Amino acid sequence: MDAGRNLLPTRLKGNRWLRRSGTLIGFLIVVIIFTLNNPSTFLTLPNWLNISQQVSMLAVVAFAMTIVMVMGDFDLSVGSMASLAGILAALLFRAEQPLAVGILVALGAGLIGGLINGLLVSYVGITPFVATLGTLTIFSGAAFLFSGGETIFGRDIPAEFSGFARTGLPIGTVNERPLLFPAMTILALVVLGIIWLLLEQTTYGRRLYAIGGNAEAARLAGVRVRLLRLIAFMLTGLGAATAGLMYASRVASANPTQGAGLMLDAIAAVFLGMTLSEEGEPHVLGTLLGVLILGVLDNGLTQMQVDSYVREILIGGIIIGAVTSSSLSRRNR
Amino acid sequence: MPTLTPLLSIQHTSKTYDGTPALVDAALDLMPGEVHALMGENGAGKSTLIKILAGVVRPDRAEIRIDGQPVSIHSPKEAYDRGLRFIHQELQIVPQVSVAENLALSQPYPRWLGVLVDWRKLHQQANRALERLGISHIDPRQSMARLSVGDRMLVKIASAFANSTQAASIYVLDEPTAALNAAESQRLFAVIRELKTQGCGILYVSHRMDEVFEICNTVTVMRDGRVISTQAIQQTSRGGLIRLMTGREVSHAYPPRTQPHGQQVVLEGHGLLNGVDFQVRAGEILGIAGLAGAGQSELLKAIMGALPATVGTLSLEGQPMTPAHPADGWEKGFAFVPQERREQGLVLSRSVRENISLPHLRRLSTSGVLLDVGRETRLADDLSKQVRLKATSNRQLTRQLSGGNQQKVVFARAMAGQPRLLLLDEPTRGVDVGARFDLYTLIRQASIDGTAILLASSDLGELLGLCDRILVLRRGRGATVVKAAGLTQHDLLALCYG
Ligand SMILES: Nc1ncnc2c1ncn2[C@@H]1O[C@H](COP(=O)(O)OP(=O)(O)OP(=O)(O)O)[C@@H](O)[C@H]1O
Ligand SMILES: [Mg+2]
């Protein structure tokens, strides 16, 4: 595979910097277009804080997804894990358990779900696609089963819990109302910081990238591939459960399908981020850009009152375009 | 003598990678009936020139003529259609499909009524191609993934020589014998001689002097991307060629043992691979010889803990040991150079520095967790210098290194610290003549420092020149241990067949 890539015909020539930054430049162009179209609203601090809060759940899932994608794996079950985590927490709240119990059980479910994925992929040896497709269905079924297919809301969700999505750090006032730096955004940034440290600054992250590049060579160089892969899936599961809790807090309710949209967007964000790296490897800062692109497009197109179906077509086209242009330019060796 | 038109003439050919020249105004003529050696140190630009000819790398500038006609080659297909055949240094195979399909990759498959693949005919073609090289032990229906490295190379070689609808007249072979044993190489040479009498031209890259003097008529030497001389083989000598390649005086004697090795047994094995017993002492170099596939790599992997279930017992300094994972091996102070640099050794998408430090990350970090890039960089720079690595910096991706330099990276990382046990599987494959003796000196130095060393090699000269004793493996028929002193290559080969 590597040899083949190395020996592709080299027709396209391009500036090295330009080819790595194409996605970033595209992002800036999109921002400029939206700014010109909505001069009074788009490029304002409140709008960007709003965007940051809107994408914070997707961001957490996408950052966590980056961990497994570094090894060349996927986790398709993140969305249904997020739903399941929200349902579990809400059920415990309804049973008048303390806040901490609900949250810890939900996060524990994320770890256990990740453990199952990890065992299937790295010890049983099923491909991640099939294994996590299976657990996607299982987690989703469990969420329906536990909730009886209903949405849990209202009095059942404690105010402290749903309040989290509405608080933030006051950083000023706009039109005599306090402007808050949302707690959800802060949480997403904290997750970003932790995963960045983990992937870029620790021996664990270094080994994950080695596995992604050549698992057999990594193993022979003393990397415990199976164990590290298992841990990576657990961390991704934990991230998914965190996002599920954030979602439940934001909508002050839990229903068994509310995480469903997260998985595809998270994978898309990681792919968009991968276009920034020379070797096409995922990096969590690249994923951040991917998340911002998706969030900004969503926000800007909504402000321009573009039909939501058109929006989806546009976003899909942009993902394909970005990944195509970067893989074409990578052939230039 | 009338001047002949060269079959292939290359003029003014240059290539720069990200500002670093890999090929500078190279020129070379290949005559009909000529076997033309292309030699040079690792990273001199040999493979780059060949990839340009093959249409897989785009030159900055090139003037190529075939039979006097100017041509430009943009793709492997064009090269094929113009009668060029290649064996590239790095294996290009499709492991998922059969040997027969790999042999037919560059040609249309035989078909029934132009639609359905005629498998019988395909397999017959494959058999003919293999027979031409005297290969009878490979079944064309077998999946490529199941073949050993040497056998894959044989298939690759066979595919270059397979009869095709378009006549071929130019063969370009980039280190074809690096993974072959002596007998397989001889069969390749027989085919080369036959092609030569048919008037084909052969461009031949090798780091093995013996072969070059055995089959080549002409030799061109490259250094730092430039062609610096072309001579008839009779007008040169080994020493002369090495001087031209390296620009320095290189010893080509094996570094001798200067003091006796220790007496303490470091590693002892009993009944491994169905009946292999051995002992290796501190500072001793125990060679491992045998025909291709006699179990050399399996033995080293078993000691390292890289094979799932292993028969036999091992003891380390008297204590029984059951290694379960290569991580255990590295933790105990074993260091391992696996046989295949690209499949088993390197993470090609990562840098020289990261590849060197990978097995040593725990020692190179703060409390085993936080990377210490400063220490990592010092280690990588230090080892790169010791093996004379040619790279733009320790941050260069290993994918971008020449084959021999990739091998040096895999070797370098095994020399970090002072390993207790060094397991070397073909450690100098693809390394140029000059650098090879630098590596031998490092191996000798490790042995003087008390490292016990197991050295598997198909290069008998290397085994006899470095080892104290040699373990000769015979697949399924046990093994013998002999003292290296006084043995000739001929004796050793006889023992392998014995
Ligand atoms: N894709 C690439 N990107 C950057 N540099 C490259 C790339 N491919 C080759 N080079 C550089 O070009 C130079 C020549 O490499 P080449 O592979 O032609 O050497 P070689 O003579 O075949 O050596 P060897 O004997 O080790 O096979 C080397 O310095 C190498 O690092
Ligand atoms: Mg080469």
The per-residue pLDDT for range A181-209, each reduced to its tens digit, is 999 999 999 999 999 999 999 999 999 99
Task: Tell whether B399 lies on the interface with A, counting CB pairs under 8 A.
Answer: yes
Give strand pairing partners of A119. none
Task: Tell whether B386 lies on the interface with A, counting CB pairs under 8 A.
Answer: no
Alpha carbon distance, N-terminus to C-terminus of chain A: 15
As residues whose CB is below 5 A from the ion ligand 2, the structure lists B 47, 89, 402-403
With an 8 Å Cβ cutoff, are B361 and A10 in contact?
no
Query: What order do you get walking across the sheet with B276-281 strand by strand?
Result: B276-281, B265-272, B313-316, B319-321
User: CA B232, B237, B243: angle at the middle one, nearest 5?
Assistant: 105
Give the sign of the dihedral formed by CA A235, CA A236, CA A241, CA A246.
positive
With an 8 Å Cβ cutoff, are B56 and A216 in contact?
no
Pick the CATH number of B265-497 from 3.40.50.300, 3.30.70.360, 2.40.10.10, 1.10.3720.10: 3.40.50.300
- Residue minimizing CA distance to atom 8 of ligand 1: B400
How many angstroms away from the CA of A331 is the closest CA of chain B? 11
pLDDT at B2: 53
Contacts of A194 in chain B (CB under 8 A): none
Which among A255, A141, A123, A245 has a CA at the least distance from the CA of A188?
A245
The number of the ligand 1 atom at minimal distance from the alpha carbon of B18 is 4
With an 8 Å Cβ cutoff, are B304 and A218 in contact?
no
Which among B76, B139, B66, B129 has a CA at the least distance from the CA of B106?
B76
pLDDT at A147: 94
- On whether the pTM is more than 0.80, the answer is yes
pLDDT at B476: 65
Task: Tell which phi-psi region holds residue B113, choosing left (phi > 0), alpha (psi between -120 and 50) or beta.
Answer: left
**3-class secondary structure, B287:** strand
pLDDT at A5: 34
Q: Which of residues 32-71 of B touch A (CB under 8 A)?
A: 51, 54-58
pLDDT at A12: 37
- All CATH 3.40.50.300 domain ranges of chain B, comma separated, are 8-246, 265-497
B140 neighbors B100 (Cβ within 8 angstroms): yes
User: CA B482, B485, B491: angle at the middle one, nearest 5?
Assistant: 60
The torsion defined by the Cα of B144, B148, B152 and B158, in degrees rounded to 10, comes to -110
CA distance B468 to B484: 6
Give strand pairing partners of B337. B424
B170 neighbors B32 (Cβ within 8 angstroms): no
Given a cut of 90, whether residue A30 has pLDDT beyond it is: no
Give the nearest chain A residue to B305 (CA atoms): A220
The number of the ligand 1 atom at minimal distance from the alpha carbon of B406 is 26
Give the nearest chain A residue to B77 (CA atoms): A9
Q: Which class is domain A45-324?
A: mainly alpha
Task: Tell whether B371 lies on the interface with A, counting CB pairs under 8 A.
Answer: yes
Strands (E), B351-497: 365-366, 370-371, 421-425, 452-456, 469-473, 479-483
Cβ neighbours of residue B80 under 8 Å, at least 6 residues apart?
Answer: B106, B166
User: CA B123, B129, B135: angle at the middle one, nearest 5?
Assistant: 100
Task: Tell whether B343 lies on the interface with A, counting CB pairs under 8 A.
Answer: yes
pLDDT values of chain B reduced to their tens digit, one per residue, 498 residues: 456 789 999 999 999 998 899 999 999 999 999 999 999 999 999 999 999 999 999 999 999 999 999 999 999 889 988 999 999 988 777 888 888 888 887 777 777 777 788 888 888 888 888 888 888 888 888 888 888 777 888 888 888 887 666 678 899 999 999 888 888 888 899 989 999 998 999 999 999 999 999 999 999 999 999 999 999 999 999 889 999 998 887 777 899 888 888 899 999 999 888 788 999 999 999 999 988 778 899 999 999 999 876 788 899 999 999 889 999 999 999 999 999 999 999 999 999 999 999 999 999 999 989 999 999 999 999 999 999 999 999 999 999 999 999 999 999 999 998 899 999 999 999 999 889 999 999 999 999 999 999 999 988 999 999 999 999 998 767 788 999 998 998 999 888 887
Q: Which of A149-163, A277-291, A314-328 comes out lowest in average pLDDT?
A: A314-328
Interface predicted TM-score (ipTM) of this complex, two decimals = 0.91
Contacts of B396 in chain A (CB under 8 A): none
Query: What are A124-182's pLDDT values in tens digits?
Result: 999 999 999 999 999 999 999 999 999 998 888 999 999 999 999 998 888 888 899 99
Q: Which residues line ligand 1 (CB under 6 A)?
A: A 333; B 17-18, 22, 40, 42-48, 89, 390, 400-405, 432
Query: What are A84-123's pLDDT values in tens digits?
Result: 999 999 999 999 999 999 999 999 999 999 999 999 999 9
CA distance B139 to B84: 27
CA distance A102 to A90: 7
With an 8 Å Cβ cutoff, are A7 and B326 in contact?
no
Instruction: Just give the CATH number of B8-246.
Output: 3.40.50.300
The torsion defined by the Cα of A229, A234, A238 and A239, in degrees rounded to 10, comes to 20
Contacts of B50 in chain A (CB under 8 A): none
- Residue minimizing CA distance to atom 25 of ligand 1: B42
The residues spanned by each domain of chain A are: 45-324
